[in-house]
Amino acid sequence: MKKTYNELQITPDYGYSYFVDFILSLSDEAIEEVNHTIILRSEENLEMVLFGVEEFAKKLSTALGKEIALETQLLVKENEDWIANYRNSVQPLHVGSFFVHPSWIEDDKEKINIIIDPALAFGSGHHETTYGCLLLLQKYIQKGDTVLDVGCGSGILSIAARKLGAEVDLCDTDEQATSSAAENFALNHETFNRIWTGSVQKREQEYAVVIANIIADVLIMLSSDLQKAVKDDGMLILSGILDKYVDKVEEKFATMMLVEKYKKEEWYTLVFKRK
C-alpha cells in the first residue's frame, strides 16, 4: 500500500447521473456518492480522469443546450483504510418487500434479499430510477412470467424479477455490465435463462414483461424494438426518464396503454401495456 492516494471530487450542478455513468466508464475503481458529489479514489494518478470529466462537461453542455457548472477537487491524502470507510458508508435499502444490501451486511429474514456489491456501481438500487423499477416490479410481475431486462447494468432488476418467480433474460451493450450481472446472479444464488452483450434486437422471443431502465433518448431510439419485444397484453416498464422528457417518451409509446406513472424526485418510471 502506498503512503498516499489520490481523491477526485466532482460536483455538477446538472446531469448528475450522466457524470456517474461517464466516470464509471473511465475507471474501474469504486465511487462514493455524497450529497450529489461523486468521489473517486485511487493510488493511480487521476489527472487524466479529471481532464476527461471537464471535456465531457463541455460536450454535455452543448448537447443539452444548458451550461453545466462543474466543481472539482483533486486531492492527495494520507492512505488509510478508505475501502473499509467506504463500505461503512454504503447503506442498505428497503424497497417494498425487497432488501437490497452489499454482501457484508446480513440478510433481513423478513424480506426478499438482493445482494449487490457496489464496487462497479452499475446499479445498487439507490438511484431514483432503479428504486422505481424495483417498486413496480413487485406490482406487475407474476410467478412464471418471462422477463427481459434491457440495459441490465448490475443485473439488479432481473435478479429482483427472478426472486419474484420470473424466468429472465438480460442484455447490455457494455460487456463489463453483462459480466458484472452474471457475477451478481451467482452472488445471489439465482439463475438466468440467457444473457448477451448487445441490445433488444438480439432477442429470440417475446416476453410477458420487458424492463428498460435507460436514459430517455435511448428509450425513444429503441421504442419500436422494445414494443415488439412485449407479448400481447404484456407489460413494458420504462425508467431513466427525467421529468422534462416524460411527455416525449409517452408520445413515442402512444400505441401502448399507459397503466402507471411513478415519480421520485425528478425521475419517472412508466408502465405500459401492449394492447
Q: At residue 110, what are phi and psi to the nearest 5 degrees?
A: -95, 0
- The per-residue pLDDT for range 150-191, each reduced to its tens digit, is 999 889 999 999 999 999 999 999 898 899 899 999 999 999
Identify whether residues 81 and 185 lie together within a single domain: no
Domain harbouring 48, CATH code = 3.30.70
Rounded to the nearest 5 degrees, what angle is found at the Cα of 109, between the Cα atoms of 84 and 187? 55
Residues 81 and 135 both lie in one domain: no
Q: Does residue 235 form part of some domain? A: yes
Could you say which of 31, 64, 87 is where a domain stops?
Answer: 87
Any domain includes 122: no
Q: Looking at the structure, do residues 28 and 147 belong to the same domain, yes or no?
A: no
Boundary-marking domain end, from 87, 102, 118: 87
Residue 90: predicted pLDDT: 72
One domain for residues 256 and 179:
yes
What is the arithmetic mean of pLDDT over 141-158? 96
Is 37 part of any domain?
yes
User: Is 164 among the domain residues?
Assistant: yes
Number of domains into which the chain is organized: 2
Residue 117 in domain: no
Say which amino acid occupies 98.
Answer: F
Q: What is the residue range of 150's domain?
A: 131-273
At residue 21, the pLDDT reads 86
Give Cα 118 to chain centroid, integer Å. 11
Q: Which residue(s) pair with 205 in the sheet? A: none
Q: 81-121, pLDDT tens digit by residue?
A: 666 666 676 788 999 999 999 898 999 999 999 999 865 44
Q: What CATH number does residue 168 fall under?
A: 3.40.50.150
11: β partners:
71
Same domain, 146 and 265: yes
State residue 80's pLDDT score: 65
Looking at the fold, whether 171 and 242 belong to one and the same domain comes out as yes
DSSP state of 73: E
**Predicted local confidence at residue 256, as pLDDT:** 97
- pLDDT computed for residue 73 by the predictor: 94
Instruction: Give the confidence band of 124 by pLDDT, cuts at 50, 70, 90.
Output: low
Q: Is residue 52 included in any domain, yes or no?
A: yes
* Mean pLDDT, all residues of the chain: 91
Q: Are residues 154 and 250 in the same domain?
A: yes
Give dist(CA 112, CA 108) in Å, integer.
8
Residues 70, 196: one domain?
Answer: no
Is the pTM higher than 0.75? The answer reads no
Question: What's the confidence (pLDDT) of residue 3?
Answer: 77
* 60 plus 138 within the same structural domain: no
For residue 122, the model assigns a pLDDT of 44
| Rounded distance between C-alpha atoms, residue 35 and residue 12, angstroms | 11
The number of angstroms, rounded, from the C-alpha of 173 to the middle of its chain's C-alpha atoms is: 13
Residue-wise pLDDT for 15-38, tens only, equals 998 998 888 887 777 788 888 999
Q: What is the pLDDT of residue 121?
A: 41
- Which of 35, 70, 87 terminates a domain? The answer is 87
* pLDDT, tens only, 217-256: 999 999 999 999 999 999 999 999 999 999 999 999 999 9
pLDDT confidence band for 44 (50 / 70 / 90): confident
- The rounded distance, in Å, linking the Cα atoms of 195 and 148 is 10
Q: For residue 126, is it within any domain? A: no
Q: Looking at the domain assignment, is residue 107 inside a domain?
A: no
8 and 137 housed in the same domain: no
